[in-house]
Structure 1
Protein backbone atom coordinates (compact mmCIF):
# COMPACT_ATOMS: atom_id res chain seq x y z
CA UNK A 1 0.00 0.00 0.00
CA UNK A 2 1.35 3.42 -0.97
CA UNK A 3 1.84 6.17 1.62
CA UNK A 4 0.54 8.63 -1.02
CA UNK A 5 -2.94 7.05 -0.64
CA UNK A 6 -3.12 8.84 2.73
CA UNK A 7 -2.42 12.29 1.31
CA UNK A 8 -4.99 15.09 1.16
CA UNK A 9 -5.05 18.82 0.39
CA UNK A 10 -5.17 21.00 3.52
CA UNK A 11 -5.23 24.82 3.35
CA UNK A 12 -2.71 26.08 5.94
CA UNK A 13 -5.29 28.37 7.57
CA UNK A 14 -7.18 25.28 8.79
CA UNK A 15 -4.25 24.24 11.02
CA UNK A 16 -5.43 25.35 14.47
CA UNK A 17 -2.91 27.69 16.12
CA UNK A 18 -4.59 27.85 19.51
CA UNK A 19 -7.14 25.77 21.40
CA UNK A 20 -10.85 26.57 21.56
CA UNK A 21 -12.29 27.83 24.86
CA UNK A 22 -13.94 26.13 26.62
CA UNK A 23 -12.29 22.85 25.64
CA UNK A 24 -15.55 21.03 24.88
CA UNK A 25 -16.77 23.76 22.47
CA UNK A 26 -14.70 22.30 19.63
CA UNK A 27 -16.58 20.72 16.73
CA UNK A 28 -17.21 16.98 16.55
CA UNK A 29 -17.57 15.00 13.35
CA UNK A 30 -19.38 11.71 13.99
CA UNK A 31 -18.69 8.80 11.63
CA UNK A 32 -21.11 5.87 11.63
CA UNK A 33 -19.20 2.93 10.13
CA UNK A 34 -22.22 0.69 9.51
CA UNK A 35 -24.31 3.23 7.61
CA UNK A 36 -21.38 5.36 6.28
CA UNK A 37 -23.23 8.40 7.62
CA UNK A 38 -21.48 11.58 8.80
CA UNK A 39 -22.90 14.00 11.39
CA UNK A 40 -21.64 17.42 12.49
CA UNK A 41 -21.94 18.22 16.20
CA UNK A 42 -20.19 20.02 19.11
CA UNK A 43 -17.84 17.96 21.30
CA UNK A 44 -19.86 18.28 24.52
CA UNK A 45 -22.76 16.56 22.70
CA UNK A 46 -20.70 13.36 22.67
CA UNK A 47 -22.70 12.38 25.77
CA UNK A 48 -25.65 11.59 23.43
CA UNK A 49 -23.61 8.85 21.72
CA UNK A 50 -22.35 7.11 24.86
CA UNK A 51 -24.47 4.62 26.82
CA UNK A 52 -24.46 3.72 30.53
CA UNK A 53 -21.91 0.94 30.94
CA UNK A 54 -19.70 2.04 28.00
CA UNK A 55 -16.04 2.31 29.02
CA UNK A 56 -14.02 5.40 28.04
CA UNK A 57 -10.31 4.57 28.16
CA UNK A 58 -8.03 7.58 28.72
CA UNK A 59 -4.28 7.93 28.27
CA UNK A 60 -3.25 9.76 31.46
CA UNK A 61 0.33 10.47 30.30
CA UNK A 62 1.45 14.01 31.09
CA UNK A 63 3.49 16.20 28.74
CA UNK A 64 6.85 17.28 30.14
CA UNK A 65 8.33 20.75 29.38
CA UNK A 66 10.70 19.04 26.95
CA UNK A 67 12.05 21.93 24.85
CA UNK A 68 15.26 23.62 26.04
CA UNK A 69 17.46 26.29 24.48
CA UNK A 70 21.23 26.12 24.97
CA UNK A 71 24.52 27.54 23.69
CA UNK A 72 27.83 25.91 22.89
CA UNK A 73 31.02 27.49 24.23
CA UNK A 74 31.48 28.95 20.73
CA UNK A 75 28.19 30.82 21.20
CA UNK A 76 26.25 28.69 18.67
CA UNK A 77 22.56 28.23 19.56
CA UNK A 78 21.28 24.67 20.06
CA UNK A 79 17.69 23.53 20.53
CA UNK A 80 17.18 20.43 22.69
CA UNK A 81 14.09 18.24 22.79
CA UNK A 82 13.98 15.68 25.61
CA UNK A 83 12.73 12.37 24.21
CA UNK A 84 13.23 9.65 26.81
CA UNK A 85 14.55 9.59 30.38
CA UNK A 86 17.31 6.99 30.75
CA UNK A 87 18.02 7.80 34.40
CA UNK A 88 17.87 10.89 36.64
CA UNK A 89 19.44 13.76 34.68
CA UNK A 90 20.39 11.62 31.65
CA UNK A 91 18.13 11.90 28.62
CA UNK A 92 17.89 10.72 25.05
CA UNK A 93 17.32 13.93 23.07
CA UNK A 94 16.89 15.41 19.63
CA UNK A 95 19.21 18.36 19.07
CA UNK A 96 19.17 21.03 16.36
CA UNK A 97 21.40 21.57 14.44
CA UNK A 98 22.53 17.99 15.04
CA UNK A 99 25.88 18.18 13.26
CA UNK A 100 27.10 20.70 15.86
CA UNK A 101 26.66 18.32 18.82
CA UNK A 102 29.21 15.50 19.05
CA UNK A 103 30.48 13.30 21.88
CA UNK A 104 31.98 15.61 24.51
CA UNK A 105 30.17 18.76 23.31
CA UNK A 106 29.23 20.96 26.28
CA UNK A 107 25.94 22.87 26.21
CA UNK A 108 25.01 25.72 28.56
CA UNK A 109 21.28 26.27 29.24
CA UNK A 110 21.88 28.99 31.88
CA UNK A 111 24.03 29.62 34.96
CA UNK A 112 22.21 26.86 36.88
CA UNK A 113 22.07 24.11 34.22
CA UNK A 114 24.37 22.65 31.58
CA UNK A 115 24.75 19.36 29.72
CA UNK A 116 27.43 17.27 28.04
CA UNK A 117 26.87 14.92 25.09
CA UNK A 118 27.80 11.33 26.01
CA UNK A 119 27.33 10.10 22.44
CA UNK A 120 24.79 9.26 19.76
CA UNK A 121 21.61 7.24 20.17
CA UNK A 122 19.65 5.59 17.38
CA UNK A 123 17.94 7.59 14.64
CA UNK A 124 19.97 10.75 15.08
CA UNK A 125 19.33 11.21 18.80
CA UNK A 126 22.00 12.28 21.33
CA UNK A 127 22.49 11.12 24.92
CA UNK A 128 22.85 14.20 27.15
CA UNK A 129 23.98 14.18 30.78
CA UNK A 130 22.73 17.28 32.59
CA UNK A 131 24.59 19.01 35.40
CA UNK A 132 23.22 18.91 38.04
CA UNK A 133 21.49 15.57 37.37
CA UNK A 134 18.12 16.88 38.54
CA UNK A 135 15.00 16.29 36.40
CA UNK A 136 12.97 18.84 38.42
CA UNK A 137 15.48 21.58 37.56
CA UNK A 138 15.53 20.49 33.89
CA UNK A 139 11.72 20.75 33.77
CA UNK A 140 11.83 24.20 35.42
CA UNK A 141 14.00 25.44 32.56
CA UNK A 142 12.00 23.65 29.84
CA UNK A 143 9.21 24.96 27.63
CA UNK A 144 6.12 23.44 26.04
CA UNK A 145 7.18 21.04 23.24
CA UNK A 146 4.61 22.25 20.71
CA UNK A 147 4.64 20.67 17.24
CA UNK A 148 6.43 22.73 14.55
CA UNK A 149 3.15 23.62 12.76
CA UNK A 150 1.96 25.61 15.83
CA UNK A 151 3.55 29.05 15.66
CA UNK A 152 2.01 30.54 18.83
CA UNK A 153 3.39 30.12 22.35
CA UNK A 154 0.84 28.18 24.39
CA UNK A 155 1.15 27.52 28.14
CA UNK A 156 1.99 23.92 29.04
CA UNK A 157 -1.24 23.39 31.03
CA UNK A 158 -3.29 24.08 27.88
CA UNK A 159 -1.32 21.44 25.96
CA UNK A 160 -2.24 19.00 28.73
CA UNK A 161 -5.41 16.95 29.26
CA UNK A 162 -7.33 17.81 32.44
CA UNK A 163 -6.69 14.25 33.71
CA UNK A 164 -2.95 14.00 32.88
CA UNK A 165 -0.85 12.68 35.79
CA UNK A 166 2.00 10.38 34.70
CA UNK A 167 4.92 12.49 33.41
CA UNK A 168 6.71 11.27 30.29
CA UNK A 169 5.18 12.45 26.98
CA UNK A 170 6.88 14.87 24.58
CA UNK A 171 3.58 15.52 22.78
CA UNK A 172 0.02 15.58 24.07
CA UNK A 173 -2.42 12.71 23.48
CA UNK A 174 -4.58 15.35 21.80
CA UNK A 175 -7.96 13.59 21.58
CA UNK A 176 -8.25 14.09 25.34
CA UNK A 177 -7.78 17.87 25.16
CA UNK A 178 -11.53 18.30 24.45
CA UNK A 179 -12.66 16.96 27.83
CA UNK A 180 -13.50 19.30 30.71
CA UNK A 181 -13.97 18.22 34.37
CA UNK A 182 -17.67 19.15 34.00
CA UNK A 183 -18.15 16.96 30.91
CA UNK A 184 -16.42 14.02 32.63
CA UNK A 185 -18.73 14.49 35.62
CA UNK A 186 -21.85 14.51 33.38
CA UNK A 187 -20.67 11.33 31.62
CA UNK A 188 -20.11 9.61 34.99
CA UNK A 189 -23.61 10.66 36.13
CA UNK A 190 -25.02 9.07 32.98
CA UNK A 191 -23.31 5.81 33.95
CA UNK A 192 -20.39 5.94 31.51
CA UNK A 193 -17.36 4.18 33.06
CA UNK A 194 -13.74 5.38 32.92
CA UNK A 195 -10.43 3.52 32.84
CA UNK A 196 -6.82 4.65 32.48
CA UNK A 197 -3.77 3.55 30.52
CA UNK A 198 -0.37 5.19 30.11
CA UNK A 199 1.48 5.52 26.81
CA UNK A 200 4.28 8.09 26.79
CA UNK A 201 4.26 9.75 23.37
CA UNK A 202 7.83 9.73 22.05
CA UNK A 203 10.03 10.43 19.06
CA UNK A 204 7.71 8.71 16.54
CA UNK A 205 5.39 11.71 16.72
CA UNK A 206 8.11 13.94 15.26
CA UNK A 207 9.25 11.52 12.59
CA UNK A 208 7.43 11.62 9.24
CA UNK A 209 6.91 8.45 7.21
CA UNK A 210 9.88 8.49 4.83
CA UNK A 211 9.23 5.29 2.87
CA UNK A 212 6.95 4.97 -0.17
CA UNK A 213 5.29 1.75 0.94
CA UNK A 214 3.34 1.74 4.19
CA UNK A 215 4.43 -1.78 5.17
CA UNK A 216 8.12 -0.76 5.21
CA UNK A 217 7.68 1.93 7.90
CA UNK A 218 9.01 1.09 11.36
CA UNK A 219 7.46 2.64 14.47
CA UNK A 220 9.61 3.75 17.40
CA UNK A 221 9.04 1.98 20.71
CA UNK A 222 7.02 3.84 23.33
CA UNK A 223 6.56 2.97 27.00
CA UNK A 224 3.08 1.81 28.08
CA UNK A 225 1.40 0.55 31.24
CA UNK A 226 -2.01 -1.01 31.91
CA UNK A 227 -2.96 -1.65 35.56
CA UNK A 228 -4.90 -4.53 37.14
CA UNK A 229 -7.83 -2.16 37.71
CA UNK A 230 -8.05 -1.29 34.01
CA UNK A 231 -7.77 -4.96 32.96
CA UNK A 232 -10.68 -5.76 35.32
CA UNK A 233 -12.80 -2.93 33.83
CA UNK A 234 -12.04 -4.04 30.25
CA UNK A 235 -13.10 -7.61 31.10
CA UNK A 236 -16.30 -6.47 32.87
CA UNK A 237 -17.25 -4.20 29.93
CA UNK A 238 -16.88 -7.12 27.54
CA UNK A 239 -19.01 -9.34 29.80
CA UNK A 240 -21.76 -6.69 30.00
CA UNK A 241 -21.80 -6.33 26.22
CA UNK A 242 -20.92 -2.63 26.38
CA UNK A 243 -18.43 -0.78 24.18
CA UNK A 244 -14.77 -0.03 24.83
CA UNK A 245 -14.24 3.54 23.58
CA UNK A 246 -10.61 4.57 23.08
CA UNK A 247 -9.81 8.25 23.65
CA UNK A 248 -7.03 8.78 21.13
CA UNK A 249 -4.75 6.75 18.89
CA UNK A 250 -2.24 6.21 21.74
CA UNK A 251 -4.95 4.44 23.74
CA UNK A 252 -5.81 2.31 20.70
CA UNK A 253 -2.19 1.25 20.27
CA UNK A 254 -1.91 0.40 23.98
CA UNK A 255 -5.11 -1.69 24.04
CA UNK A 256 -4.38 -3.48 20.77
CA UNK A 257 -0.84 -4.22 21.98
CA UNK A 258 -2.04 -6.02 25.12
CA UNK A 259 -4.77 -7.80 23.12
CA UNK A 260 -1.94 -9.55 21.24
CA UNK A 261 -0.03 -10.66 24.36
CA UNK A 262 -0.64 -13.65 26.65
CA UNK A 263 -3.26 -12.84 29.31
CA UNK A 264 -1.77 -11.14 32.37
CA UNK A 265 -3.02 -9.33 35.48
CA UNK A 266 -1.29 -6.13 34.38
CA UNK A 267 1.03 -5.00 31.58
CA UNK A 268 4.10 -2.79 31.37
CA UNK A 269 6.54 -2.60 28.48
CA UNK A 270 7.33 -0.90 25.20
CA UNK A 271 5.27 -1.09 22.03
CA UNK A 272 6.11 -0.46 18.40
CA UNK A 273 2.71 -1.63 17.12
CA UNK A 274 1.99 -0.02 13.74
CA UNK A 275 -1.70 -0.10 12.83
CA UNK A 276 -2.63 0.35 9.16
CA UNK A 277 -5.30 -1.18 6.85
CA UNK A 278 -6.25 -3.99 6.99
CA UNK A 279 -6.12 -4.59 10.75
CA UNK A 280 -8.22 -6.72 13.09
CA UNK A 281 -9.21 -4.71 16.17
CA UNK A 282 -9.61 -7.04 19.15
CA UNK A 283 -10.49 -4.61 21.97
CA UNK A 284 -11.48 -1.19 20.62
CA UNK A 285 -15.15 -0.71 19.61
CA UNK A 286 -15.25 3.08 19.13
CA UNK A 287 -12.67 5.84 18.81
CA UNK A 288 -12.39 9.53 19.69
CA UNK A 289 -9.57 11.22 17.77
CA UNK A 290 -8.43 14.48 16.16
CA UNK A 291 -7.80 15.28 12.48
CA UNK A 292 -4.28 14.13 11.64
CA UNK A 293 -1.47 15.13 9.29
CA UNK A 294 -1.49 13.84 5.71
CA UNK A 295 0.59 10.67 5.19
CA UNK A 296 0.92 10.14 8.98
CA UNK A 297 0.81 6.86 10.90
CA UNK A 298 -2.07 8.33 12.93
CA UNK A 299 -4.19 8.81 9.82
CA UNK A 300 -3.35 5.24 8.77
CA UNK A 301 -4.59 3.94 12.14
CA UNK A 302 -7.87 5.85 11.79
CA UNK A 303 -8.25 4.51 8.22
CA UNK A 304 -7.70 0.97 9.51
CA UNK A 305 -10.48 1.50 12.07
CA UNK A 306 -13.13 3.19 9.90
CA UNK A 307 -12.11 2.16 6.36
CA UNK A 308 -9.71 4.14 4.19
CA UNK A 309 -12.23 5.40 1.62
CA UNK A 310 -14.71 6.51 4.30
CA UNK A 311 -12.01 8.31 6.29
CA UNK A 312 -10.53 10.11 3.28
CA UNK A 313 -14.07 11.18 2.27
CA UNK A 314 -14.63 12.47 5.83
CA UNK A 315 -11.38 14.46 5.67
CA UNK A 316 -12.39 16.06 2.37
CA UNK A 317 -15.74 16.95 3.97
CA UNK A 318 -13.91 18.41 7.00
CA UNK A 319 -11.81 20.66 4.74
CA UNK A 320 -14.93 21.77 2.85
CA UNK A 321 -16.72 22.60 6.13
CA UNK A 322 -13.66 24.41 7.53
CA UNK A 323 -12.99 22.11 10.47
CA UNK A 324 -9.83 22.93 12.46
CA UNK A 325 -6.99 20.40 12.09
CA UNK A 326 -4.19 18.79 14.14
CA UNK A 327 -3.29 19.10 17.84
CA UNK A 328 -5.52 22.06 18.77
CA UNK A 329 -8.14 21.23 16.15
CA UNK A 330 -11.57 19.63 16.21
CA UNK A 331 -12.50 16.03 17.04
CA UNK A 332 -13.92 12.96 15.37
CA UNK A 333 -16.00 10.19 16.97
CA UNK A 334 -16.01 6.90 15.07
CA UNK A 335 -18.81 4.48 15.99
Structure 2
Protein backbone atom coordinates (compact mmCIF):
# COMPACT_ATOMS: atom_id res chain seq x y z
CA UNK A 1 0.00 0.00 0.00
CA UNK A 2 2.83 2.38 0.83
CA UNK A 3 4.53 1.65 -2.50
CA UNK A 4 1.33 2.54 -4.40
CA UNK A 5 1.05 5.79 -2.45
CA UNK A 6 4.61 6.78 -3.36
CA UNK A 7 4.01 6.01 -7.05
CA UNK A 8 0.74 7.96 -7.03
CA UNK A 9 2.42 10.99 -5.47
CA UNK A 10 5.15 10.90 -8.08
CA UNK A 11 2.69 10.64 -10.97
CA UNK A 12 0.53 13.42 -9.53
CA UNK A 13 3.49 15.76 -9.22
CA UNK A 14 4.44 14.99 -12.81
CA UNK A 15 0.92 15.57 -14.11
CA UNK A 16 -0.03 18.70 -12.13
CA UNK A 17 2.90 20.92 -11.12
CA UNK A 18 2.12 22.43 -7.72
CA UNK A 19 2.15 26.13 -7.11
CA UNK A 20 4.59 27.45 -4.46
CA UNK A 21 1.70 27.94 -2.02
CA UNK A 22 0.46 24.38 -2.56
CA UNK A 23 3.98 23.02 -2.17
CA UNK A 24 4.45 24.83 1.15
CA UNK A 25 1.11 23.57 2.47
CA UNK A 26 1.82 20.00 1.35
CA UNK A 27 5.25 20.10 2.98
CA UNK A 28 3.75 21.38 6.21
CA UNK A 29 1.11 18.63 6.30
CA UNK A 30 3.72 15.90 5.93
CA UNK A 31 5.98 17.65 8.43
CA UNK A 32 3.17 17.77 11.00
CA UNK A 33 2.41 14.08 10.52
CA UNK A 34 6.10 13.25 10.78
CA UNK A 35 6.36 15.18 14.06
CA UNK A 36 3.38 13.27 15.46
CA UNK A 37 4.89 9.95 14.43
CA UNK A 38 8.24 10.90 15.93
CA UNK A 39 6.61 11.86 19.24
CA UNK A 40 5.03 8.39 19.36
CA UNK A 41 8.33 6.63 18.67
CA UNK A 42 7.60 5.71 15.04
CA UNK A 43 10.97 6.89 13.72
CA UNK A 44 10.82 5.06 10.40
CA UNK A 45 7.39 6.49 9.63
CA UNK A 46 8.53 9.94 10.71
CA UNK A 47 11.60 9.85 8.47
CA UNK A 48 9.48 8.70 5.53
CA UNK A 49 7.16 11.69 6.05
CA UNK A 50 10.06 14.12 6.42
CA UNK A 51 11.40 12.74 3.13
CA UNK A 52 8.10 13.56 1.41
CA UNK A 53 7.93 17.02 3.02
CA UNK A 54 11.39 17.75 1.64
CA UNK A 55 10.44 16.65 -1.86
CA UNK A 56 7.71 19.31 -1.77
CA UNK A 57 10.00 21.93 -0.22
CA UNK A 58 13.74 21.16 -0.50
CA UNK A 59 14.57 24.30 1.52
CA UNK A 60 12.47 23.34 4.55
CA UNK A 61 15.25 23.81 7.11
CA UNK A 62 13.24 22.67 10.15
CA UNK A 63 12.31 19.44 8.36
CA UNK A 64 16.02 18.67 7.91
CA UNK A 65 16.56 19.46 11.60
CA UNK A 66 13.79 17.13 12.76
CA UNK A 67 14.77 14.37 10.36
CA UNK A 68 18.30 14.67 11.72
CA UNK A 69 16.95 14.17 15.24
CA UNK A 70 15.00 11.09 14.15
CA UNK A 71 18.09 9.67 12.45
CA UNK A 72 20.17 10.32 15.55
CA UNK A 73 17.62 8.44 17.67
CA UNK A 74 17.99 5.53 15.24
CA UNK A 75 21.75 5.59 15.77
CA UNK A 76 22.48 7.03 12.31
CA UNK A 77 24.85 9.77 13.49
CA UNK A 78 26.36 10.29 10.04
CA UNK A 79 22.93 10.77 8.46
CA UNK A 80 21.91 13.10 11.27
CA UNK A 81 25.03 15.23 10.74
CA UNK A 82 24.21 15.58 7.03
CA UNK A 83 20.71 16.80 7.91
CA UNK A 84 21.97 19.27 10.53
CA UNK A 85 24.48 20.63 8.01
CA UNK A 86 21.67 21.06 5.48
CA UNK A 87 19.47 22.88 8.01
CA UNK A 88 22.31 25.24 8.94
CA UNK A 89 23.22 25.80 5.28
CA UNK A 90 19.64 26.87 4.52
CA UNK A 91 19.11 28.91 7.69
CA UNK A 92 22.30 29.67 9.67
CA UNK A 93 20.24 31.33 12.42
CA UNK A 94 18.56 28.13 13.70
CA UNK A 95 20.14 27.81 17.14
CA UNK A 96 18.56 24.38 17.68
CA UNK A 97 20.36 22.99 14.61
CA UNK A 98 23.75 23.93 16.09
CA UNK A 99 22.78 22.53 19.48
CA UNK A 100 21.54 19.24 18.03
CA UNK A 101 24.60 18.93 15.80
CA UNK A 102 26.68 19.52 18.90
CA UNK A 103 24.91 16.61 20.60
CA UNK A 104 25.66 14.37 17.61
CA UNK A 105 29.31 15.42 17.72
CA UNK A 106 29.44 14.68 21.45
CA UNK A 107 28.07 11.20 20.84
CA UNK A 108 30.81 10.69 18.27
CA UNK A 109 33.48 11.81 20.77
CA UNK A 110 34.18 15.17 19.10
CA UNK A 111 33.79 17.26 22.25
CA UNK A 112 35.73 20.26 20.89
CA UNK A 113 33.52 20.41 17.80
CA UNK A 114 30.46 19.98 20.00
CA UNK A 115 31.47 22.88 22.23
CA UNK A 116 31.97 25.07 19.15
CA UNK A 117 28.42 24.24 18.03
CA UNK A 118 26.96 24.95 21.47
CA UNK A 119 28.85 28.26 21.54
CA UNK A 120 27.26 29.21 18.22
CA UNK A 121 23.79 28.20 19.45
CA UNK A 122 24.23 30.38 22.55
CA UNK A 123 25.52 33.28 20.44
CA UNK A 124 22.33 33.13 18.35
CA UNK A 125 20.01 32.50 21.31
CA UNK A 126 21.60 33.72 24.58
CA UNK A 127 18.75 32.41 26.78
CA UNK A 128 18.96 28.86 25.37
CA UNK A 129 19.06 26.80 28.58
CA UNK A 130 19.42 23.46 26.77
CA UNK A 131 22.51 24.68 24.90
CA UNK A 132 24.21 25.62 28.19
CA UNK A 133 23.23 22.23 29.60
CA UNK A 134 24.58 20.40 26.56
CA UNK A 135 27.79 22.44 26.62
CA UNK A 136 28.11 21.59 30.30
CA UNK A 137 28.02 17.89 29.47
CA UNK A 138 30.63 18.37 26.73
CA UNK A 139 32.88 20.36 29.09
CA UNK A 140 32.48 17.62 31.71
CA UNK A 141 33.41 14.94 29.18
CA UNK A 142 36.45 17.03 28.20
CA UNK A 143 37.55 17.13 31.85
CA UNK A 144 36.78 20.83 32.35
CA UNK A 145 34.65 20.46 35.47
CA UNK A 146 34.64 24.12 36.53
CA UNK A 147 33.33 25.21 33.12
CA UNK A 148 30.76 22.42 33.22
CA UNK A 149 29.48 23.53 36.63
CA UNK A 150 29.26 27.12 35.36
CA UNK A 151 27.24 25.95 32.35
CA UNK A 152 24.82 23.92 34.47
CA UNK A 153 24.44 26.92 36.77
CA UNK A 154 23.63 29.17 33.80
CA UNK A 155 21.05 26.66 32.53
CA UNK A 156 19.44 26.71 35.99
CA UNK A 157 19.52 30.53 36.08
CA UNK A 158 17.58 30.58 32.78
CA UNK A 159 15.25 27.71 33.69
CA UNK A 160 14.93 27.20 37.44
CA UNK A 161 12.94 23.98 36.88
CA UNK A 162 15.64 22.23 34.81
CA UNK A 163 15.88 19.04 36.88
CA UNK A 164 18.61 17.40 34.79
CA UNK A 165 20.85 20.45 35.17
CA UNK A 166 20.54 20.27 38.97
CA UNK A 167 21.29 16.53 38.89
CA UNK A 168 24.37 16.91 36.69
CA UNK A 169 25.68 19.86 38.69
CA UNK A 170 25.15 17.77 41.81
CA UNK A 171 27.23 14.96 40.33
CA UNK A 172 30.09 17.35 39.61
CA UNK A 173 29.88 18.94 43.03
CA UNK A 174 30.17 15.44 44.48
CA UNK A 175 33.17 14.78 42.23
CA UNK A 176 34.86 17.98 43.43
CA UNK A 177 34.23 17.25 47.12
CA UNK A 178 31.30 19.61 47.76
CA UNK A 179 29.14 16.92 49.33
CA UNK A 180 26.45 19.04 51.01
CA UNK A 181 25.96 21.16 47.87
CA UNK A 182 25.78 17.98 45.79
CA UNK A 183 23.06 16.51 48.00
CA UNK A 184 21.14 19.80 47.86
CA UNK A 185 21.28 19.88 44.05
CA UNK A 186 20.13 16.28 43.68
CA UNK A 187 17.34 16.79 46.21
CA UNK A 188 16.18 19.80 44.20
CA UNK A 189 16.26 17.71 41.00
CA UNK A 190 14.17 14.99 42.64
CA UNK A 191 11.67 17.57 43.88
CA UNK A 192 11.25 18.80 40.31
CA UNK A 193 11.17 15.35 38.73
CA UNK A 194 10.63 12.40 41.12
CA UNK A 195 11.07 10.01 38.17
CA UNK A 196 14.63 11.13 37.43
CA UNK A 197 16.59 8.01 38.33
CA UNK A 198 19.98 9.64 37.73
CA UNK A 199 19.28 12.20 40.46
CA UNK A 200 18.72 9.44 43.04
CA UNK A 201 21.91 7.74 41.85
CA UNK A 202 23.94 10.94 42.10
CA UNK A 203 22.55 11.72 45.56
CA UNK A 204 23.40 8.16 46.58
CA UNK A 205 27.02 8.78 45.58
CA UNK A 206 27.12 11.98 47.63
CA UNK A 207 25.49 10.32 50.63
CA UNK A 208 28.00 7.47 50.46
CA UNK A 209 30.84 9.99 50.48
CA UNK A 210 29.19 11.81 53.38
CA UNK A 211 28.88 8.63 55.45
CA UNK A 212 25.09 8.28 55.19
CA UNK A 213 25.21 4.70 53.93
CA UNK A 214 21.60 3.83 54.74
CA UNK A 215 20.41 6.95 52.92
CA UNK A 216 22.65 6.09 49.98
CA UNK A 217 21.28 2.55 49.71
CA UNK A 218 17.75 3.92 49.82
CA UNK A 219 18.61 6.26 46.94
CA UNK A 220 20.22 3.48 44.92
CA UNK A 221 17.12 1.34 45.53
CA UNK A 222 14.95 4.06 44.00
CA UNK A 223 17.38 4.54 41.12
CA UNK A 224 17.30 0.80 40.38
CA UNK A 225 13.51 0.90 40.12
CA UNK A 226 13.62 3.86 37.72
CA UNK A 227 16.74 2.81 35.79
CA UNK A 228 16.76 -1.01 36.00
CA UNK A 229 19.34 -1.49 33.24
CA UNK A 230 21.91 1.06 34.46
CA UNK A 231 24.93 -0.98 35.67
CA UNK A 232 26.48 1.79 37.78
CA UNK A 233 23.39 1.92 40.00
CA UNK A 234 24.00 -1.69 41.04
CA UNK A 235 27.76 -1.24 41.24
CA UNK A 236 27.52 1.75 43.55
CA UNK A 237 24.83 0.13 45.69
CA UNK A 238 27.17 -2.84 45.95
CA UNK A 239 29.92 -0.56 47.24
CA UNK A 240 27.55 0.89 49.85
CA UNK A 241 26.48 -2.61 50.93
CA UNK A 242 30.12 -3.64 51.09
CA UNK A 243 30.80 -0.74 53.46
CA UNK A 244 27.92 -1.98 55.66
CA UNK A 245 29.46 -5.48 55.51
CA UNK A 246 26.39 -6.86 53.75
CA UNK A 247 28.65 -9.05 51.64
CA UNK A 248 25.94 -11.24 50.14
CA UNK A 249 23.99 -8.16 49.04
CA UNK A 250 27.14 -6.54 47.70
CA UNK A 251 28.12 -9.64 45.70
CA UNK A 252 24.61 -9.81 44.25
CA UNK A 253 24.80 -6.17 43.14
CA UNK A 254 28.25 -6.57 41.59
CA UNK A 255 26.99 -9.65 39.73
CA UNK A 256 24.03 -7.67 38.39
CA UNK A 257 26.32 -4.85 37.26
CA UNK A 258 28.49 -7.42 35.45
CA UNK A 259 25.43 -8.98 33.83
CA UNK A 260 24.49 -5.57 32.42
CA UNK A 261 28.07 -4.53 31.54
CA UNK A 262 30.34 -7.58 31.20
CA UNK A 263 33.50 -5.46 30.78
CA UNK A 264 33.05 -3.44 34.01
CA UNK A 265 36.44 -4.14 35.57
CA UNK A 266 35.71 -2.43 38.89
CA UNK A 267 32.71 -4.70 39.48
CA UNK A 268 34.92 -7.77 39.10
CA UNK A 269 37.50 -6.27 41.47
CA UNK A 270 34.93 -5.51 44.16
CA UNK A 271 33.18 -8.84 43.80
CA UNK A 272 36.60 -10.45 44.07
CA UNK A 273 37.22 -8.57 47.32
CA UNK A 274 33.90 -9.80 48.72
CA UNK A 275 34.74 -13.36 47.72
CA UNK A 276 38.15 -13.09 49.39
CA UNK A 277 36.45 -11.92 52.59
CA UNK A 278 34.04 -14.85 52.31
CA UNK A 279 36.94 -17.27 51.87
CA UNK A 280 36.08 -18.09 48.23
CA UNK A 281 39.64 -17.66 46.99
CA UNK A 282 39.23 -19.56 43.72
CA UNK A 283 36.22 -17.46 42.72
CA UNK A 284 38.09 -14.32 43.76
CA UNK A 285 41.06 -15.25 41.56
CA UNK A 286 38.77 -15.71 38.57
CA UNK A 287 37.21 -12.30 39.18
CA UNK A 288 40.61 -10.65 39.45
CA UNK A 289 41.79 -12.30 36.23
CA UNK A 290 38.70 -11.02 34.41
CA UNK A 291 39.17 -7.55 35.90
CA UNK A 292 42.70 -7.40 34.49
CA UNK A 293 41.43 -8.56 31.10
CA UNK A 294 39.05 -5.59 30.98
CA UNK A 295 41.24 -3.14 32.88
CA UNK A 296 42.59 -1.18 29.91
CA UNK A 297 44.67 1.77 31.13
CA UNK A 298 43.93 0.72 34.74
CA UNK A 299 45.66 -2.64 34.37
CA UNK A 300 48.85 -1.69 36.25
CA UNK A 301 47.17 -0.11 39.29
CA UNK A 302 44.67 -2.99 39.34
CA UNK A 303 47.50 -5.53 39.43
CA UNK A 304 49.10 -3.72 42.37
CA UNK A 305 45.76 -3.54 44.19
CA UNK A 306 45.06 -7.24 43.63
CA UNK A 307 48.47 -8.23 45.07
CA UNK A 308 47.77 -6.06 48.11
CA UNK A 309 44.33 -7.64 48.61
CA UNK A 310 45.65 -11.19 48.28
CA UNK A 311 48.28 -10.51 50.94
CA UNK A 312 45.65 -9.06 53.25
CA UNK A 313 43.14 -11.88 52.85
CA UNK A 314 45.42 -14.87 52.23
CA UNK A 315 44.32 -18.04 54.08
CA UNK A 316 45.81 -18.45 57.53
CA UNK A 317 47.61 -21.79 58.05
State the TM-score bracket (shorter-chain normalisation). Answer: under 0.3
User: TM-score, normalised on structure 2?
Assistant: 0.26
User: TM-score, normalised on structure 1?
Assistant: 0.25
More helix by share: 2
More strand by share: 1
